[in-house]
Chains A and B, each alone.
Chain A
Amino acid sequence: METLFAILIGLFFAAAVYLMLSKYTVRILLGVALLGNAVNLLLFTAGRLTREVPPIIPAGMQALPAGAANPLPQALILTAIVISFSFFAFLLVLTYRAYQELGTDDTDGMRLAEPRDEPLPPVGY
């Protein structure tokens, strides 16, 4: 199960990096969303994947039974999902505003903050 997930996570990361290398902001955003999910899956797998043993301490025991999934990474994922969701929402709006204001979704065309023909500082009076 872990091996399968490791391969899946690798594919997620590959797809995310491929999309983020694009020039177009929408693809970059999709890459960012995939990257967030790749990390969540990674955290999930790091906490052990088991179906049979619930992560509940049985009566009379002091610790989880061996082989139970660690519940903490799932709490981490929950936090990470909330954060990446809000960031994604913000980025989506920002990208749309950028598309409205700058009239393009091509990052090559977004040169307002760093103009292409920026003058050099004067060398003398």
Chain B
Amino acid sequence: MAAPSSTPADLSAALVLTPPPLADWLVVLPVALMIALGAALMMIRKSVRWHGPIAISGLVLLVLLDLGLLWRVSVHGPVTMVMGRWLPPFGIAFTADLLGAAMALAAAVAALAAGIFALADIDAGGRRYGFFPFLMLLMAGVSGAFLTGDIFNLYVWFEVLLISSFGLIILGSEPEQIDGALKYAILNLVGTTLFLIAIGYLYAVFGTLNMADIARKAVGLRDTAPLVTLTALFVLAFAMKAAAFPVNFWLPASYHTPRIVVSALFGGLLTKVGIYALIRVAIMLFPVEREALSLVIAVSAALTMMAGALGALAQDDIRRLVGYLVIAGIGNMLAGVAIGTPAAVSGAILYALHSMATMTALYFVAGEAARLGGGSWSLAALGGIYRRAPWFSAASFLLFLAAAGLPPLSGLWPKVALLKASLDIGAWWLGAAILVSAFLVTVSLARVFLLAYWRPQPGLTGAGADGSAAAGGWRMSLPLGLLTALVVFFGLMPEPLLDLTQRAATGLADPAAYVQSVFPTSAQKGGVP
């Protein structure tokens, strides 16, 4: 038993002794807020009428916090905060760079839209079941995944969002949902387990879990350690989360089964978390190894695009059709990762941001279309929406164009960037896949518009045909209008967003600023332990 030593240990080597500036708290506040609100809502589980107002104000606050964080990161560079004052690499670091902050903001906006939509879509039973607490915890997981700077912590946030998504997907407990949820749960669990295996090997090789530390040490370990194997494991795990081609079958089996607002959240956010993790690991941590796997990822990207577009063509259920559109979009983002140049990565990030807004909105559209067009999900039965709800039809039309990547909407710019990047490296077949898949998506969405919107509703003639269905109310039109406005705005004014994603991609290609933010004093680079 050592007596209190007369010479106090020098704590500055292990602990952060000065309190971090108040603005740095922005890094952890999104996650802390969502966890606190999730717990609070869980405690007042029975008073369901408070759930909506509290959750919506929380999500508005989340958007503001993420906005503040993005602004700060954009002005001052990456921000880091460590847990329990332990200095990295021992303390778990939260590090927000432009990529993480931008994704977190887009996710918060999509979640806010979904939260408002849920006020109308989720009835008292669903709220008592815990929709809003699950939504808060899902957002804690998503925000945490985007903002963490520690790879095991990333795994933990993956699990947090996964377990909340389990709760959301079985909300309602219909047999169809349980069937979909079982496949979703098992395949996603296997995916995260693969991720955990990769982390185990990574720790055995590097002796650290801090991403900035890994990026520093990878330079010195490249010749001796099996880093390509490691990267391949990570790519497989994240491709499974993102629903890339050979491992995408869980998505069309499950995403159409829950309530439409839950589908919107999943389609908008969850697959993008997989893409984000893939970009973070493949582009920032292991760029050289990604080069070796480039062809595999590119082929998977092209097949994902084609599988998504062809699947969308073959669907009669509009929710499943949108599910396949999510997959087609994932193919585009994977193409950016496969090419790997800053221009391509910038295109992939831009596509991810665009896809979060568009896919969430498209699921809203599917839900509204089914309600207005005769209460069915089947294209064979839907009809007459254009006559009943012209404004809703206009918004749907814009979103369809955006999803297909047609001008002047936000889907155009990432596709242009990715196409140019793939032609620049001579991968004409990848460029061709982007174009063909965009064409097939256009065809399938044009057919939706033709059948469900322009065609009179089948089996309904005379007075009933132009009788207007009950209006959706502001809870449905506000989130749809908000997301459509964003899609139109960033289609017409892509400059600020393009600038942002280019800076984010440059920051990933050369993570010096990221490393500097985690290890402020370290001057040497590539130091081997």
Residues of A with Cβ closer than 8 Å to B? 20, 25, 28, 32, 35-36, 39, 42-43, 46-47, 59, 70, 72-73, 76, 79-80, 83-84, 86-87, 90-91, 94-95, 97-98, 101-102, 110-114, 118-122, 125
Contact = CB atoms under 8 A, between A and B. Distances in A.
A59 B378 CA distance: 73
Given A32-B189, A42-B197, A112 B179 contact: yes
Secondary structure class of chain B's binding surface, majority of residues:
helix
A97 B197 contact: no
A121 B196 contact: no
B43 interface: no
Interface residues of B, number: 47
A115 to B, nearest CB: 9
Contacts of A47: 203-204
Given A46-B200, A113-B257, A98 B189 contact: no
Contacts of A119: 316, 378, 380
B291 interface: no
Contacts, number: 109
Contacts of A80: 196
B203 A72 contact: yes
B314 interface: yes
B316 A87 contact: no
B182 A120 contact: no
Nearest to B169: A94
Given A46-B203, A94-B178, A125-B451, 13 more contacts: A42-B201, A46-B200, A46-B201, A90-B166, A102-B179, A110-B179, A112-B175, A112-B179, A113-B177, A118-B317, A120-B314, A121-B379, A121-B447
A73 B200 contact: yes
B405 interface: no
Contacts of A79: 152, 156
B316 A97 contact: no
A101 B178 contact: yes
B420 interface: no
B173 A97 contact: yes
Interface in B303-321: 314-317
Contacts of B256: 113
Q: Which of A46, A70, A114 has the most CB of B within 10 A?
A: A114
B190 interface: yes
Given A101-B178, A113-B253, A120 B190 contact: no
A89 B55 CA distance: 28
B203 A76 contact: yes
A42 B200 contact: yes
Given A102-B178, A113-B253, A91 B379 contact: no
Contact of B163 (A86, A102, A121): A86
B179 A35 contact: no
A83 B183 CA distance: 19
B186 interface: yes
Q: Which of A83, A84, A121 has the most CB of B within 10 A?
A: A121
A81 to B, nearest CB: 11
Nearest to A88: B189
User: Which 7 pairs, one residue from A and one from B, show the smallest C-beta to C-beta distance?
Assistant: A46-B204, A113-B180, A101-B175, A112-B179, A43-B200, A121-B379, A121-B316
B170 interface: yes
Contacts of B197: 39, 42
B381 to A, nearest CB: 10
